[in-house]
Structure 1
Amino acid sequence: MGTHVGQALAAERKVAGLDQRQLANRAGYSLSMIKAVEQGREVASPGFIAAVSRVLAIDPDRLLGTPFLDALEEDGPLAGLAELRAVLTEGAYVQPIDPPPDAELARELVAVETALRNDRTRRALAALPELLRKAHGAVQMAADDTARARAYELLCAAYIAAEGACCRLGYSSLTALVLERLDTAATHTPDSAYAVRSLVKRSRLLMAHGSTDVAMSLVDRGIGLVPGDTESERVLRGYAHLRGAIVAARGRRLELARDHIIEARALARRMGHESDLYTTDFGPGNVEVHACAVELEAGDPGKAAHDGAALVLPADMAAPRAGHHWQDNARAWLMAGKYDRALAALNKARAAAPQQTRLHPSVRETVYGIAAAQRRQSDSLLGFAHWIGAGL
């Protein structure tokens, strides 16, 4: 079998000089859970990975093994990655290039956002470095304050797209750099939406490192920035409530997580679609997806499995959002001991968002978990494992 999180955890624990009981006590998990994860009998949840990584003082990527370079290389060179690194490293001194007219630059942004929404992350990444340099050029060449604010809004949106691409491809170490640039750009636009997006996205990064209290404080600040009742404000507030639900669940505050779902559901009830405003993907379907995710993280995995399987996802839901739901549903079925249903959910994730599914660490861990629980691997499981590059 290929390397799973548990094997990496055991190695890092020994380097840190801790036995299993010491790690369990410091991470706030049971000794049996530590043993089960290390032996591959239990799938490591994102919350578990964040907690043990914090105790071991390592980046969570060390345990996850991301990015999955072998899988990425099978599909050819990752165009745009080196240039995006250069743009981010240049920081405040980024070298701009002359922008096209505003309308053309806006179309280039929409093309990147559409690629991300349709699970074409490689395509988006290839276009992002030039888009960012053009957006910086638009800021520098703006003729007046109005044009400059408009250019900064486009720059913020481009950095938001860059954060999404880095996360999906497994380059989470780049997201802190992206968020620094987004934070700066957001201060130059009067539209609070970009400050909200910046706060909520940083909460995701903090959550991955186990800082759920700080992450929740940023979510609360984001919600406070959009007190009005316009459609865009409701969408942004609902988007922040959904992140709040996951942060609270990750921090094992189930009632608070459910309260955030209730607030988001009330906002979504007035909508008849999944909104693409500010690329939030907020809507009634996304609320129910998050309700299942809350149960998986901190509530009842069996309920998450059954409720998630029964969901009829809206046709206008973004492909990666749908794919992520089926990834979660697979993990829930695995925890419920229904291995065939777990594999079926993984195949639904593959159908909805193949690029994302192939590169997401939770998919790999679910595959390892199914394999560890079964005496004999089916051809369908072996085929899926081969597709994601996980040897069984």
Structure 2
Amino acid sequence: MPDSNDTHIGARIAEQRHIAHLTQRGLADRANVSYSLLSKVESGHKPASPAVVAACARALGIESSVLVGQPYAAEQRADRFDAPLAAIRASLENWDVPLDPELPPRPLADIAADVGAIGEARRAADYFTTATKVAPVIDELIEATHQHSGGQQERAHRLLAYAYRCVHDVVYKLGHLDLGNIVLARMSYSAERSGDPYMVILTAYLRAQSSFNTGRHEVGLRLMERSLTDVEEGARRGDRSALCVQGNLRLRATMLAARSGPAGKAQEDNARAQWQEAWETAERLGGDTQNYVLSFGPSNTLIHRVSMEAELGNYGRAVKAAETMRLPAEFGRTFPDRVGHYYLDLSRAQLWTGDRQACFDSLLKARAAAPQQTRYHPHARETVEALRRADRAANGTLANFARWMGL
């Protein structure tokens, strides 16, 4: 954890490089990153992209979270996350031991309603509500898995796996990555007992997310390939759940391919091919679909086109792709987390193309859509820091935004 939240990612890269006794040229060669770009990133003249962060972290033998400064302990303490996170850690201690409490679990239909509400909070990127509500539900569902049998036991495990999915989103986004790995282990245990193959695939989908932090993108891609094979038959039949899962697997593969190495033709071709497959799946669905496992549709696929271009370093293309984006109002109400992420990626592209006002406008839109996601997103913080360094004049609005983020 850095001593100051004002330390930008480039400065942390330089610090870790010195610890590893590497020159800039040595790290650039080992990370397969342009020496000129690394020099500008370390000096703060260019913001560090997620791909550069992942490449440097892997070359240095550390996790990306070290370079981005997560978790942001002071901000989380101010936002009262300590108690909910402690309750989550406690709930993860048990997954296979019946405790026989005095009060038996409620009917699964009642617990399912609570799980649904937790899912809504997750989609809204409301990390605090999700973290506050989920621990007692996990405890109750674990007991239900022991008290039920047959189909009811499978349903309890299915609800439990989904609750773990919601927990994973919170702890991962807040930067508690080791805790996220424990959550995935618990989720895998219940998914395998849920009688639902899509829950098993969802576990692999989330597992691939951790490769963004470790830089093992090739592992994530292989996981997506294996999962795509598992869902292929259902997608061929036109099963909507299978199509939603297939589309999301392709989108995750798109981003993994985009970050998998230095921008080159093979990397770019793979990312674009994965995105095109996702688009074809979205066209088969015919519209945005809210699914019990993974929601999918044209809007999220178009959002990922902007993200893909930004990850490939094609910032002008990312901005151009956004110019034709028209997200349905209903999509924004249903998936504020996706809208918020879209504006965060767009702001990064606008910063690189030199349009600082548009960049800040996008940050404001991201905060309006998903405030907690924006406050805790490491590359949103990096973008704000870059704006502050570029704007030598006193800008009260930007300063207020930076203070809100904890910078």
Q: How many residue pairs end up in the alignment? A: 389
**For residues 388 and 309 of structure 1, what CA distance do their matches in structure 2 show?**
27
SS in 2 for 1:302: helix
Further displaced range: 272-281 or 49-58 = 272-281
Give % identity.
32
Deviation at 1:52, TM superposition (A): 1.0
Take 2:137 and 2:320, find their aligned partners in 1: how far apart are those partners? 43
| Corresponding residue for residue 344 of structure 1 | 361
Q: Cα distance, 1:361 vs. partner? A: 0.6
Aligned to 1:101: 107
Q: Residue 28 in 1 paired to residue 16 in 2?
A: no
Q: Which residue of 1 aligns with 2:72?
A: 68
SS class of match (1:225):
helix
> Which amino acid in 2 is paired with 1:194?
M
1:85 Cα offset (Å): 1.2
Question: Structure 1 residue 374 and structure 2 residue 388: aligned?
Answer: no
In the aligned structure 2, how far is the partner of 1:45 from the partner of 1:34? 11
Structure 1 position 365, deviation (Å): 0.2
Q: Does 1:360 align with 2:365?
A: no
Residue in 1 aligned with 2:229? 224
Secondary structure at the aligned position of 1:269 is classed as: helix
Give the 3 Å change call, closer, same or farther, for CA 95–209 of structure 1 in structure 2. farther
Structural mapping, 1:226-375, within 5 Å:
226-227=231-232, 228=234, 229-252=238-261, 253-317=267-331, 318-375=335-392
Report deviation, 1:96.
7.6
Shift of the alpha carbon at 1:330?
0.4
Distance (Å, rounded) in 2 between the aligned partners of 1:299 and 1:90: 44
Q: Structure 1 residues 172-181 or 321-330, which shifts more?
A: 172-181
Counterpart AA for 2:214: H
**Correspondence 1:193 to 2:198:** yes
Q: Given that residues 247 and 282 in structure 2 are in contact (C-alpha distance below 8 angstroms), is that contact kept between their aligned partners in structure 1?
A: yes
Deviation at 1:129, TM superposition (A): 1.1
| Amino acid across the alignment from 1:203 | A
Which amino acid is 2:115 matched to? L
- Relative to the length of structure 1, the TM-score reads 0.95
User: Residue 43 of structure 1 is aligned with which of 18, 39, 47?
Assistant: 47
Q: Which residue of 2 aligns with 1:118?
A: 124
Residue number among 166, 169, 172 corresponding to 1:167 in the alignment: 172
> Secondary structure of 2:48's match?
coil
Counterpart amino acid of 2:254?
A: A
Residue 187 of structure 2 aligns with which residue? 182
CA distance in 2, matches of 1:166, 1:282: 23
The one-letter code of the counterpart of 1:236 is: V
Provide the TM-score with structure 2 as the length reference.
0.91
Match of 2:88 in 1: 84
Displacement of 1:80 in angstroms is: 1.6
Cα deviation, residue 345, structure 1: 0.7
Q: 1:18 is matched with which residue?
A: 22
Native 8 Å contact 2:65 2:213 kept in 1: no
Query: Amino acid of the residue matched to residue 18 of structure 1?
Result: L
For the residues of structure 2 that align with 1:111 and 1:95, how far apart are their CA atoms?
A: 26
Q: Structure 1 stretches of 5 or more lacking a match?
A: none
Corresponding residue number in structure 1 for 2:264: none
CA distance in structure 2 between the partners assigned to 1:159 and 1:294 by the alignment? 28
Displacement of 1:87 in angstroms is 2.4
